Structure 1
């Protein structure tokens, strides 16, 4: 998702920058007040074994160690509110000083997160967020609406003047990040009269469902020229659907994120572009804001991370944005 394709509003740097709006200060400086005795931080990502969250964990762990804190990670096996609630509840009677969490549902996760906050734990949202974010001292994520816009601009450049239809694959209704990406993409696509959206379809975050949706779209929409997949699983499923139909390279696939499998797919031509986030920086900044809150230092209520449009032509120059499988 690199430089020559990046929409003007996107940050080219990998560092985090303040959001243009919605940022503010929480807490007061303690004038050098010592840190609390509880040095334990918890990270509860959206799902385990996903390179985006592994990269976030790596950034968070490194920053926690640097600042003299210990961070443990507990991830649900699936991107599911009930499974994530189990991880939150498991913190039990010995809650961490602060919890970094990527809520898997913007409404259902409020109650369990609030219960942890009521026990004195500072809450920092990373990647995803609740509709009611008042429980959190800080929220750090990519500008997902902008990411969707960047994906639409990227797809339009790939397609050129060719007319045709475009499919959007989202994960689950109620997932704040992917919903914003889909909405940003759909709105931005209106700027290209040769491209027509055939709507957003949900995949329950399952690659098999994404593959099935693509197969059905190919059968019902002969002029399909592009697909925007809002996350890793939808992208992998979309690539499978195109492969099964013999349409690899004939239908432009723009994915979100830059996992090892997506990077390999970009190199082999299964994807035509990826929109990469900077999850390690999100994890790092999440720890920074949590520690600031614990040590009574100024906390920024909202931070955003940079996004990068990467194509096969410039992927080697942008390898720093590829996600990790281990720390």
Structure 2
């Protein structure tokens, strides 16, 4: 994306479900206003999370604003946090794009008396946010390893993990869970993880390179939406769709279509709408001086072509 576009999104709000410009829902110091800062704009996972956030905040009587960076990048998210700080809403729900680099900006929110709830991702420093609501990502990685082992059956071969970017708490936990669980299957040789910078084209090229170095590749675990879509492209280009079992993470419309078509063999789906709703509940509790749950984990489910329609409530949305 061009630098002009990146700067534009860093300065203005991006609301995938119809939100307006920054400050359109309340003035400075508005305690009855909540802001959601997702990890990236226009991604179905975060759109679905936003839908849950908007619904719950409206029911609780809060006005909302949603602002997101154009890429999952702390240098783009930090200026958004600074802009939100100037208007001082009652609470901010944020998916930090880096568990260390975003600590300073987010701490400024908390120091100003704004209640901070982490949604999806979290900071390494656990003293800043009042609550963290996310999937049990390590469990998700373990579920991916078990699902992949079931798909491979009695066969043998190499398996690869495609991660996004080091320092992303969610995907790092998924990779760690997978790596630990896959040790239980001696027929699967783990060849490690590779980072894609959250770019589908890099995921595709990493798959191609791994196939060349490991012709016995039988499985790939892609730790998020973009790596999953890129991995599917890489396997398709190499003519190995279906021959190499691809387990993705998340259930975007594109990934669901790939699962139905056989380009992906399984998806580990989260429940982002519930993450958004629960984040609002914890923020309201903090604002009202009630008990807050410091860590809340939401469910995941493994989807295959055989059972996907029975679990369609886990499919992510493109708009609210």
Looking at structure 2, the residues matched to 283 and 257 of structure 1 have their Cα atoms a distance apart, in angstroms, of: 16
- Superposed counterparts of 1:286-301, under 5 Å: 286-301=279-294
Deviation of residue 310 (structure 1)? 0.5
Provide the TM-score with structure 1 as the length reference: 0.88
Find the partner of 2:305 among 295, 306, 312.
312
Residues 30, 88 of structure 2: 8 Å contact kept: no
SS at structure 1 position matched to 2:159: strand
Deviation of residue 80 (structure 1)? 0.1
Looking at structure 2, the residues matched to 284 and 301 of structure 1 have their Cα atoms a distance apart, in angstroms, of: 15
Partner of 1:81: 74
SS at structure 1 position matched to 2:127: helix
Q: Which has the higher contact order (CA 8 A, sep 6+)?
A: 1
Deviation of residue 117 (structure 1)? 1.3
Looking at structure 2, the residues matched to 134 and 100 of structure 1 have their Cα atoms a distance apart, in angstroms, of: 15
Looking at structure 2, the residues matched to 246 and 188 of structure 1 have their Cα atoms a distance apart, in angstroms, of: 29
Residue 52 of structure 2 corresponds to residue 59 of structure 1: yes
Looking at structure 2, the residues matched to 167 and 317 of structure 1 have their Cα atoms a distance apart, in angstroms, of: 29
Partner of 1:149: 142
Residues 52, 277 of structure 2: 8 Å contact kept: yes
RMSD: 0.9
Residue 156 of structure 2 corresponds to residue 163 of structure 1: yes
Find the partner of 2:132 among 133, 139, 163.
139
Residues 31, 91 of structure 2: 8 Å contact kept: no
1:240-285 deviation line (CA, Å, top 9, x unaligned)? 1001001111100000000100000000001000000000000000
Number of aligned residue pairs: give it.
292
Partner of 1:260: 253
Residue 111 of structure 2 corresponds to residue 121 of structure 1: no
Partner of 2:41: 48
Gapped regions of structure 1 (runs ≥ 5): 1-35
